[in-house]
A and B are shown apart, each in its own frame.
Chain A
Amino acid sequence: MSNYAESLRDLDSYISARVPIIGVRSIEQIRALRMVKQVAAAPRRAGLPFWIFTRATGLRDLRTNAPAQEDRSLTGAMDFAAQQFTSRAQATVIFVDPENLSDDNTASRHVAELARLADANSGSIVIVTDTPLWSGLERLGMSVTLDLPDAAEMYDVIVEFLRDHQGVVPIAWTGQDARRAAEFLVGVPEGTAINVLATLVAKGAVERSDVENLAEYKDKHFGALTGLERVKLRPAEAAVGGLTSLRAWLRRKHQFITADLRDSELRPPRGVLLVGVPGCGKSLSAKAIATEWRLPLYRLDLGAIMGQYFGQSENRLREALETADRLAPCVLWIDEIEKGLAGQNDSTGVSRRLIGQFLFWLQESRHRVFLVATSNDVRSLPPELLRKGRFDELFFVDLPDPEDRQEIIGMYYRRYVRQEPSPELVDKLVGLSEGFAGADIEAALHEVGEQVYLNGAESLRPEFVLDTFGNTMPLSRTNPEQIEEIRGWGRDRAVPAGRPAAAATAGARRPGRRVVVFGD
């Protein structure tokens, strides 16, 4: 059942029960009033009077829109309500967006008096507001919270809007496209969704490719928020290969990110934690997943979340995660998660609270936010973050094996040197790059690319390329203990992101598990 249908059902029963004060909380006033009007329009309520007060229009009959009195003041409307409640039974007066009812003040206490007057004669006051009501008012009645439209409701909005414009402009969307569009627009008010759709119609045609662009409209709607930034993906980041196990796993999960799970108890995938040797493509994987799944990528910067005042960090993280939920479906990337959530040597308790908040969101959120967290030093992460049920899977990304290095060398050679390397050169480079991370290979070939740029392609000699590789000092040589420690941890506790050990190339020193570029 959609949130609207659920709220409608609750409001309907509260009106029937003659609850003296009913709070309808929503940031979408028009949608909330549509719901109230729908309840009032029920045939069995034809004999019951309903009035509505707004500051702009004064007091009116809800059904006929006829003004009820000349006086347009709130106090005048309350006097009118008092008169109705004392002179007839089962009157209902709706107050739209009255001010200052969130705390204990004269306005709230006056409304409480009015509610008691209503209660004496089966009257009801409905308060449509976007702020919480004072607890003294809440105690006298019941509340309904109308959330933003969910995917099913948004789908209906889209279909109805497009149906109205059928024949006006060419509309290429299929039912499936409308479903995807609904997923993208979840988290924005109905009015904003209609504005977005109207903008698509205004450009002359609604094309299938417009579905992907809806994420950008959402960005504009939510604007800048501390700690959360949209990562623009370049076409080169779509060309990725390698990471056999991870890719196979992601292909399976992709079906659930897009699947209609309304009729099942299954939840959308939560995300992965990628741990491993620095420079082996963990961050690249986040970009590759977003590119491959055609979802927007947002980066959560835990450093920017940290505030200097008490509670500021927690508030910022809560806001950022709430916004991520509203931006769904999307990929949320947390790079080097240990730097924000390590917390072992934190005396302030902030990190512990952030971890708790983060774990709660990870476990409870039902939005299609796929989390890709990366970590170089997983030992400093709190154990509760690593236990089963938090992330869907924990993958270990190791140094590339010879076969993967061959693939990486070919890819970066073509990208930076703009030539096809000879097989002999590649063989020698594969040998020289033993212990290199993908980033080391990229850096070496970038340097070669600079040489070609300055002196021309004809100046490039294989010896220069070999020397560049020979002079590169990878982390595995400058800090072998650290690398071995990371590999030791990952091999025992995580799923290899690369090829499974049994399928690894014979003769390789370690089972192959490299990350190269995605892309089949």
Chain B
Amino acid sequence: MWVTGGHYQAWADFLERWAAGERLDPAGLPRLVRDDFAADSWARLADRITGALDDRMVAWSRTLSRELTAAPDEFAAARALNHARWALPPIRELAGAPGLTDELRARLTGMVDDAIRSVQRQIDEQVWRMRSSGVPRELVEARLRTVRENPLTAVTRGPHVTGDGWAAADPTATPKRRVILD
């Protein structure tokens, strides 16, 4: 018996909202079993997952490009790269969601990581192009150092600190100071 209705719908709804940028946890999604789906339904669902990942990656890459271009100094460039890294774990979480089959999980994770590596290569090449386009050498060296110190590919190697600390901050909160006395 095929169970396409409930599970498919749950995934489809999730993917629609997630692709639009909502913060959702894919850990709660129902477990997918290939044999439970008709072949075309399975293909459609796989396409929707890939499409959602693609939408997020495209949006991510545009944001990074915009922030990097607008960065007035090296710290801002480093922060742009860092912000980009914050956005990657949720994308990798969907690609590695426990509800996916092992085969699909490996394929999607590989696809996302390839895309990250590709963007990293493009950034590296961009720095080399700076060198040949007459940008002063010290600026090129500084940018090269920024890029090396903040590699996007760091997120593919394991858990990575994200902007949760900043996200938890309340800018309007009154400071709570507690002096430590002996």
Contact = CB atoms under 8 A, between A and B. Distances in A.
Nearest to B178: A122
**By DSSP majority rule, is chain B's interface helix, strand, loop, or mixed?**
loop
Contacts of A100: 73-75
B162 interface: yes
B177 A18 contact: yes
Interface string B39-74: 000000000000000000000000000000001111
A44 B181 CA distance: 9
A48 B178 CA distance: 13
B166 A82 contact: yes
A37 to B, nearest CB: 18
Contacts of A70: 154, 157-158, 160
A87 B173 contact: no
A233 B161 CA distance: 64
A15 B74 CA distance: 31
A117 B176 CA distance: 11
A262 B170 CA distance: 52
Interface stretch (A21-29, A103-111, A340-348, A359-367): A103-111
Contacts of B22: none
A72 interface: yes
A324 to B, nearest CB: 35
Interface in B72-115: 72-76, 78-79, 81-82, 86
Nearest to A122: B178
Contacts of A470: none
Nearest to A19: B177
Interface in A16-44: 16-18, 20, 44
Given A70-B157, A122-B178, A79 B82 contact: yes
Nearest to A121: B176
- Classify chain A's interface size: 35 or more
B149 A73 contact: yes
Contact of B75 (A69, A105, A122): A105
A74 B86 CA distance: 14
B182 interface: yes
Contacts of A89: 176, 178
Interface string B156-175: 01101111111011110111
A305 B76 CA distance: 42
B123 to A, nearest CB: 14
Contacts of B173: 120
Given A80-B165, A87-B165, A120-B169, A75 B79 contact: yes
Contacts of B75: 74-75, 99-100, 105-107, 110
A53 to B, nearest CB: 12
Contacts of A99: 74-75
B1 interface: no
Nearest to B72: A106
B92 to A, nearest CB: 15
A105 B78 CA distance: 13
Given A79-B82, A107-B73, A86 B165 contact: yes
B150 interface: yes
A76 B79 contact: no
A79 B155 CA distance: 14
Contacts of A160: none
- Chain A, interface SS category: helix
A422 to B, nearest CB: 76
B169 A86 contact: yes
Nearest to A75: B82
Contact of A119 (B158, B162, B177): B177
A73 B181 contact: no
Given A72-B149, A73-B150, A90-B180, A85 B158 contact: no
A6 interface: no
Contacts of B72: 105-106
B163 A79 contact: yes
> Taking each of A69, A75, A105, which has the highest tally of chain B beta carbons within 10 Å of its own beta carbon?
A75
B166 A117 contact: yes
A73 B80 CA distance: 13
Contacts of A85: 165, 169
A83 B180 contact: no
A379 interface: no
A157 to B, nearest CB: 30
Interface in B115-170: 149-150, 154, 157-158, 160-166, 168-170
Contact of A44 (B78, B154, B177, B182): B182
A120 B149 CA distance: 29
Contact of A76 (B73, B150, B158): B150
A45 interface: yes
A84 interface: yes
Given A16-B180, A18-B179, A120-B173, A106 B161 contact: no
A82 B82 CA distance: 14
A450 interface: no
Contact of B179 (A16, A48, A55, A71): A16
A114 to B, nearest CB: 9
B73 A105 contact: yes
A83 B164 contact: yes
Nearest to A100: B75
23 contacts: A18-B179, A71-B154, A73-B150, A74-B75, A75-B75, A75-B81, A76-B161, A79-B165, A82-B163, A85-B169, A86-B165, A90-B180, A100-B74, A105-B75, A106-B73, A106-B79, A107-B75, A110-B75, A119-B175, A119-B177, A120-B174, A120-B175, A122-B177
Interface of A: 15-18, 20, 44-45, 48, 55, 69-76, 79-87, 89-90, 99-100, 105-107, 110, 116-117, 119-122
Interface of B: 71-76, 78-79, 81-82, 86, 149-150, 154, 157-158, 160-166, 168-171, 173-182
Given A44-B180, A70-B157, A122-B178, 15 more contacts: A16-B179, A16-B180, A20-B175, A44-B182, A75-B150, A79-B82, A79-B161, A79-B165, A83-B161, A83-B164, A84-B165, A86-B164, A87-B168, A119-B177, A120-B170
Name the 5 nearest CB pairs between A and B, nearest first.
A82-B165, A83-B165, A107-B75, A75-B82, A86-B168
